[in-house]
Amino acid sequence: MKKYVSEMEVVENSMLHSHYCLLKLRSSNPLPEMTPGQFVQVLVDKSPNTFLRRPISINFVDYQHNELWLLIQLVGDGTKRMAEFKVGESVNIVYPLGNGFSIPGESDSDKRFLLVGGGVGTAPLLYLGKRLKDLGFQPCFLLGARSAGDLLQLEQFRAQGEVFVTTEDGSAGEKGFVTNHSVLKERNFDRIYSCGPKPMMIAVARFAASKGIDCEVSLENKMACGVGACLCCVEKNKEGHNVCVCTEGPVFNSKELTWLN
């Protein structure tokens, strides 16, 4: 898939709760095809301690309006500066990068998909859920967060499919972690897609493996180049080799990694 470096215009930048922002960028040219799970590298200027681009997963693509949505958790100086991007400002991005989630084909028409996200890791699942729904599937979402204030875009998720929620403090949905949710006992799924904190994804991958469910996970290792040149963002694969998350991933089938050992 061809990569681009482009200037895009900020058309909206709104805070979601206290430490997340939803940045909507508009391209003057028609957006190329992007697979859910791919990411972009955002240039963050006017932030003295921020040198590298910030890898951000694609939250949603609105092809009708040529908009690319990024859901950002405000963690450090770089992401805080991104929350200050003003409407009308131009943002330089390199995109689309990495390999996305496997998109089911016609032979999968009877398959059931569960999309499990934690915290800001729910971001790519919105675009994935939309794609699955457009293809005629009925995706289910299981979204986990620390507390109700960390649950993001619930309305948009509900527009794509059924949504189940857990919070660690019990302030919304079932109390506990996503892997404790009752839906996992009550229903059967053929594939789980997951993105979130690594311990959560490992738990999800192990649960899936124990049930014989196919499982894809999206990693967010620290990156520099984003295009497979620097070899900084590596993860060990099951053969024990270091592979670049930016080009071999960020989405991996959990069987390819060492997490199930």
Partner 1 sequence: MAELSVNIGELRLKNPVTTASGTFGYGVEFADFFDISRLGGIFVKGTTLLPREGNDYPRMAETPSGMLNAVGLQNKGVDYFIDHIYPTIKDIDTHFMVNVSGSSPETYAECAAKLDALDKIPAIEVNISCPNVKQGGMAFGVTCCGAASVVKAVREVYHKTMIVKLSPNVTDITEIARAVEAEGADAVSLINTLLGMAIDAEKRKPLLSTITGGLSGPCVKPIALRLVWQTHRAVQIPIVGLGGIASAKDAIEFMLAGASAVEIGTYNFIDPCIGLKVIDGIDAYCDRHGFHSVTELIGALEK
Residues lying near partner 1 in the complex (CB under 8 A)? 2-5, 43, 48-53, 94, 221-236, 240-242
CB of 261 to partner 1, least distance (A): 16
Which residue's CB is nearer to partner 1, number 16 or number 43? 43
Nearer to partner 1, 30 or 212 (CB): 30
Which of 147, 183, 179 has its CA nearest to residue 162?
A: 183
In this structure, are residues 34 and 57 in contact, taking their beta carbons and an 8 Å threshold? no
Q: Which is nearer to partner 1, 49 or 261 (CB)?
A: 49
Q: What are phi and psi of 199, to 5 degrees?
A: -60, -35
Provide the minimum distance between the beta carbon of 75 and partner 1 in the complex, in angstroms, as a whole number.
12
**Which residues sit opposite 54 in a β-bridge?**
42
Q: Note if the bond before 36 is cis, omega within 30 degrees.
A: no
Closest separation between CB of residue 241 and partner 1, Å?
Answer: 7
**Closer CB to partner 1, residue 73 or residue 153?**
73
Task: State the minimum distance, in angstroms, from the CB of residue 195 to partner 1.
Answer: 18
Nearest approach in angstroms of CB 103 to partner 1 is 22
Tokens at 227, concatenated:
């295009």
Q: What is the DSSP letter of 29?
A: S
Q: Shortest Cβ distance from residue 208 to partner 1 (Å)?
A: 23
Between residues 22 and 243, which has the closer beta carbon with respect to partner 1? 243
The strand pairing partners of 12, in sequence order, are 24
Q: Are 81 and 44 in contact (CB under 8 A)?
A: yes
Instruction: Look at residues 163, 124, 180, 172 and name the one whose alpha carbon lies nearest to residue 145.
Output: 172
Handedness of CA 66, 71, 76, 80 (dihedral sign): positive
- What three-state secondary structure class fits 25? strand
Nearer to partner 1, 55 or 161 (CB): 55
State the minimum distance, in angstroms, from the CB of residue 19 to partner 1. Answer: 16
* Residue 120 to residue 14: CA distance in whole angstroms: 15
- Measured from the CB atom, the residue of 140 and 233 that comes closer to partner 1 is 233
> C-alpha dihedral over 186, 104, 204, 124, to 10 degrees?
-110
